[in-house]
Amino acid sequence: MRIIAGKHRGRILAEFAGKDIRPTSDRVKESLFQILSSRLPGARVLDLFCGSGALGIECLSRGAAHVVFNDISRESLAVCKKNLAAVREEGELYALDFRACLMRVTGKFDLIFSDPPYREDYTEEILRLVAQRGLLREDGLVVAESEREERAPDGWSVSDFRSYGRTKITMLKRCEP
């Protein structure tokens, strides 16, 4: 796993080994960040299921101002901290269930990454909490990675959808109900 572009381009990141770990492939990251590149300079980002921190660190490499990393796994957060130290970057780290994280964080985000284990279906609950807490900027996106195209509940619309084999990326934005 490597950083695709930006000031840390080409750096290899440590990975957390485990049977339930499914890091976003370099091919998917490269395509995703080409889509998001204009949104990253100065952005405030939340990575709800950060794992090794690869998505958030990619954002920092490309100019994001601040990234909040969250994962319920302390082992994953230890790898994320190691990766942040390796590229000499800082982030705000939480070891919380995604619900608790969404209730604790404050301010508005430009991007919120949601990449839970594929067997879990949390997108609608995440969108409900993000809307309820007002965590997304007016032009912000929730980027959901899963095995299926996510549906947009009331108050949300699909901004973009991409399929990369088993991996599906659905970008959702707030809209007028």
148 Rama class: left (phi>0) / alpha (psi -120 to 50) / beta = beta
Does 19 fall in a domain?
no
- The model's pLDDT over 99-115, given as tens digits with 9 standing for 90+, comes to 999 999 999 999 999 99
Domain that holds residue 92: 26-34+41-174
Does 150 fall in a domain?
yes
Whether 44 contacts 64, CB under 8 Å: yes
Q: How many domains is the chain built from?
A: 1
- The model's pLDDT over 52-74, given as tens digits with 9 standing for 90+, comes to 999 999 999 999 999 999 999 99
Does 61 fall in a domain?
yes
Identify each DSSP E strand in the chain by its residue range.
44-47, 66-70, 92-94, 109-114, 136-146, 156-164, 167-174
d(CA 137, CA 61): 22
pLDDT higher than 70, residue 167: yes
pLDDT band at 78 (very low <50, low <70, confident <90, very high): very high
Does 18 fall in a domain?
no
Does 3 fall in a domain?
no
Q: pTM for this one?
A: 0.93
Q: What is the pLDDT of residue 177?
A: 57
Does 156 fall in a domain?
yes
CATH of the domain at 164: 3.40.50.150
Q: Read off the pLDDT of each residue in 43-54 and give the average, rounded to a whole number.
A: 96
d(CA 68, CA 46): 5
Q: Which two tokens stand for residue 8?
A: 């840390």
Does 11 fall in a domain?
no
Does 78 fall in a domain?
yes
